[in-house]
Amino acid sequence: MPHLFLISDEFAELKSEQPEFMKELVSTARIGRSLGIHLILATQKPSGVVDDQIWSNSKFKLALKVQNASDSNEILKTPDAADITLPGRSYLQVGNNEIYELFQSAWSGADYVPDKEDEDYLDTTVYAINDLGQYEILTEDLSGLDKKEDLTKLPSELDAVIDYIHEYTEAKQIAPLPRPWLPPLEERIPLLKLEKTNYKLEWAQEKKNLNVVLGMLDQPQLQAQNTFSFDLAEEGHIAVFGSPGYGKSTFMQTILFDLVRKNSPEKLHAYLLDFGTNGLLSLKGLPHVADTLTIDDTEKILKLIRRLSQEIKERKRLLSEFGVANLKMYEEVSGAEKPIIFLIIDNYDAIKEMNDFSMQVEPFIIQIAREGASLGIHLAISAGGQNALRIQLLSNIKKQIPLHLLEKNEVSNIIGRTDLIIEEVPGRAIVKLDEPTLFQTALPNEGVDAVHIIQLNQKEAEEMCEFWTGELPQPIPMVAEVLYLNDFIEYPKTIEMLKSTSWLPIGLEFEFADTIGVSLLEHNISVVTATNEQTNSLLQTIGTIVSKKAIKEAVVFDTPSLDLMELKEKSLTYISSLDRIEAKTELLHEEFKRREQAYIKEVESTGTALSRKDFFKDMEGVITIIGSVVTLFNQLSIDTQNKLLELLKSDGRVGMHFIIGNDLGSLAKEYSSIGDYIRSSKTVLLGVRFADQAIFTPAIRILQEKPLQQNEVYLFNEGASEKIKTPKS
């Protein structure tokens, strides 16, 4: 049976800090010696500190230099120790003065130099003592140490002995003794060290796995350090609070990486709201991530709110239809599956700084916190402190975890009163289980530093993307700042409209960033912008799109200033001469009459109520583009004006469509029949704000109308208006 030594330095501190431990120590002093348990206690002032039971059961007493004779009497019953003047000099007393000796204790702090010569080194330096009693070196230092780049620090003799014992026990394979406590928590714990997860195998599982591993718990009361995890389905949401630089963003990375390794992109969709300094940027390449949003993406965030609000309504409807309370029950009853939607919001504090914007965002996040968990929509939020979150939001987040916080009382506000202190270690945190417990958050990957972890995150994300061949979550559609025509004509819906005889694609709508077009069987298009240059530019873009349609003929009427000259190269019938314009107008009018008669004849011969739209929908169309229409119209003969006006008023109902353009300034002053026609147009591309003109009025007034950006226009159709982005040719 080995002997056990209990050694306590600064015994007075132990007694004041752990008074309940003293009873056990007194018991050990009384009966421990017979059991091979020995106490070695050290204190500066024994009076009132060392218990009588310990004194009576202590045979050996060592007294180094003490402060006064009373302290010496307390230990040795003599004043001798008060007279000691040299360091390390000590009195040894065994029993009742059976041995009483003054001796010099050994010093183990000397440098360990095993090859040192036995003779002492003689210092031959010559010093002069100045008037202040200071030493000044007079001789030259020939040791050469001042020229040596690095000096090796020698171990002390105590260190050398410890190292030797350690090496010896390892060489002899002597097992270390069991310890009454576990080693301190590691400061860097990779996630895969806590739980081996192979995403290729996990993704093949049928059921979702929402058990998230967060880190390693330190539970000294259980003599254990266990993996800490929580069930997202049961807990709902999680919030982490910490001062800058203590691992909030890394913790968010860990949570998401554990989830994506356990669930395929079919089962889990994630949105990253990175409101900090790109702490989530390394996650954007994961196949599960639908989109990444920053605090400056105002329009994108509002689109996300609208998308998820619609998803919440749809999921509520499904749960109501099957009479169940949550998504898990719905999937069991219906056999259908819905993906988990996971929102990570890093640095929530930034939302409060966006005054008007926060009024739109915060109510939505509170709704998700309140209703989302049962619908399979979950939140993970990081913030600098609890005061960044509204009380309505906090009250709906079960799991709240503090990292190191500069305001110490904030930890108590989050997890309750505790004596535990969060060290200034990134990732060190406290969680409230049955009682507050320290833990170390895991790292998403095993990197030597933050940069290495980011690189490993990105590499794993690339590998996941290569492995996954199924559908990916759809990003939030956004219209590019500059929409190029070559890109626009590649959109699937644009291609579909170009093949159709009934539709003309003209741009992208902003909500879903998809192609929007106008019907070629309903109304002509009037293009009205602030300047003649803007109008002609838009007409040229539309003309280029028209040139890509399979139609019977596309005609361009241009003024003598040749503003639409570029369309001549697009295989369109380009005319700028007034005589030829009048002649072509006559031909178009004849074609119009022929088509009208064909329709009437068909109706009379069949006796059916055939609509014009059905009759003309498959007939080859004719599209005519007219620039600066007011100027051109006033230069034509009266007969041609009347025929052109009749063609325009047919409004495309015979498959002959007109796209006319004019600037707002000259239109406002034009009170002729052509001016009246444009003002009464049913379909208009308006390149100015509604507030800046009085001709076209939307059915629903637009409040706080913003200025139109480059290539932005309103599609005004029978009173309804929508802002769209037109391509740049």
Does residue 724 belong to any structural domain of this protein?
A: no
**Sheet order of strands, 573-575 included:** 515-519, 503-509, 720-725, 712-717, 683-686, 525-529, 656-663, 622-626, 553-557, 573-575
Q: What is the pLDDT of residues 561-592, one digit of tens each?
A: 899 999 988 878 999 999 999 999 999 999 99
Pairing verdict, β 211-218 and 436-441: antiparallel
For residue 634, give its domain range.
524-707
DSSP assignment, residue 479? -
Does residue 509 belong to any structural domain of this protein?
A: no
**Sheet order of strands, 227-231 included:** 227-231, 211-218, 436-441, 428-432
CA distance 729 to 727: 6
Q: Which H or E run includes 439? A: strand 436-441
Dump the DSSP string for 262-301.
HS-TTTEEEEEEE-SSSTTGGGTTSTTEEEEEETT-HHHH
Residues 431 and 536 in one domain: no
Q: What is the pLDDT of residue 253?
A: 96
Residue 581 · residue 626 · CB < 8 Å:
no
Residue 28 · residue 39 · CB < 8 Å:
yes
Residues 650 and 553 in one domain: yes
Does residue 182 belong to any structural domain of this protein?
A: no
Does residue 715 belong to any structural domain of this protein?
A: no
Residue 267 · residue 286 · CB < 8 Å:
no
Residues 199 and 99 in one domain: no
Residues 348 and 257 in one domain: yes
CA dihedral 118, 124, 125, 129 (to 10 degrees): 110
CA distance 131 to 127: 13
CATH number of residue 14's parent domain: 3.40.50.300
Q: Which H or E run includes 648? A: helix 638-649
Residues 459 and 608 in one domain: no
Q: What is the pLDDT of residues 420-449, one digit of tens each?
A: 899 999 999 999 998 899 999 999 999 889
Residues 443 and 532 in one domain: no
CA-nearest of 530, 521, 583 to 557 is 583
Q: Is 249 annotated as a binding residue?
A: yes
Does residue 307 belong to any structural domain of this protein?
A: no
Ramachandran sector of residue 257 (left: φ over 0; alpha: ψ -120 to 50; beta: rest): alpha
SS3 335: coil
| Domain boundary, last residue among 402, 435, 467 | 467
DSSP assignment, residue 690? G
Q: What is the pLDDT of residue 149?
A: 57
CA distance 536 to 661: 7
SS3 611: coil
Q: How many residues belong to the chain? A: 729
Q: Amino acid identity of 383? A: A
Handedness of CA 520, 524, 530, 533 (dihedral sign): positive
Residues 100 and 238 in one domain: no
Tokens of 358: 């926060």
CA distance 98 to 96: 5
Q: What is the pLDDT of residue 463?
A: 96
Residues 544 and 660 in one domain: yes
Tokens of 462: 């690339």
Phi, psi of 140 (to 5 degrees): -80, 140
SS3 15: helix
Q: Amino acid identity of 312? A: I
Q: Distance between terminal CA atoms of the chain?
A: 92
CA-nearest of 237, 252, 330 to 286 is 252
Q: Is 248 annotated as a binding residue?
A: yes
Q: Is 243 annotated as a binding residue?
A: yes
Q: Which residue has the tokens 């004041």?
A: 16
Residues 451 and 530 in one domain: no
Mean pLDDT, 10 residues at a time, over the chain (729 residues)?
A: 84 78 77 82 82 81 89 88 90 89 89 68 76 81 58 81 92 85 90 93 93 94 90 94 94 96 96 92 95 92 95 96 93 93 95 81 95 96 94 94 91 89 94 92 92 94 95 94 94 93 92 92 92 95 92 91 89 91 95 89 80 77 93 94 94 88 91 92 94 89 88 93 93
- Count of CB atoms situated within 10 Å of the CB of 610: 12
Q: Is 246 annotated as a binding residue?
A: yes
DSSP assignment, residue 387? G
CA-nearest of 216, 225, 287 to 254 is 216
CA-nearest of 655, 714, 652, 697 to 527 is 714
Q: Which residue has the tokens 């003779």?
A: 119
Work out how many domains the chain is built from and give that number: 3
Dump the DSSP string for 67-130.
SSHHHHHHHHSSSGGGG--STTEEEEEETTTTEEEEEEPP---SB--TT--SSPPP----EEE-
Residues 378 and 254 in one domain: yes
Residues 462 and 529 in one domain: no
Tokens of 656: 């002959």
Does residue 507 belong to any structural domain of this protein?
A: no
| Domain boundary, last residue among 85, 104, 123 | 104
| Domain boundary, last residue among 71, 104, 137 | 104
Phi, psi of 705 (to 5 degrees): -65, 125
Phi, psi of 254 (to 5 degrees): -60, -45
Pairing verdict, β 553-557 and 573-575: parallel
Buried b (16+ CB within 10 A) or exposed e, 330-349: bbeeeeeebbbbbbbbbbbe
Tokens of 365: 């996040």
CA distance 607 to 585: 33
Does residue 78 belong to any structural domain of this protein?
A: yes
Q: Is 242 annotated as a binding residue?
A: yes
Does residue 673 belong to any structural domain of this protein?
A: yes
Q: Which ranges of 195-274 would DSSP assign to H, the alpha helix?
A: 199-202, 232-235, 248-262
Residues 447 and 535 in one domain: no
Q: Is 637 annotated as a binding residue?
A: no
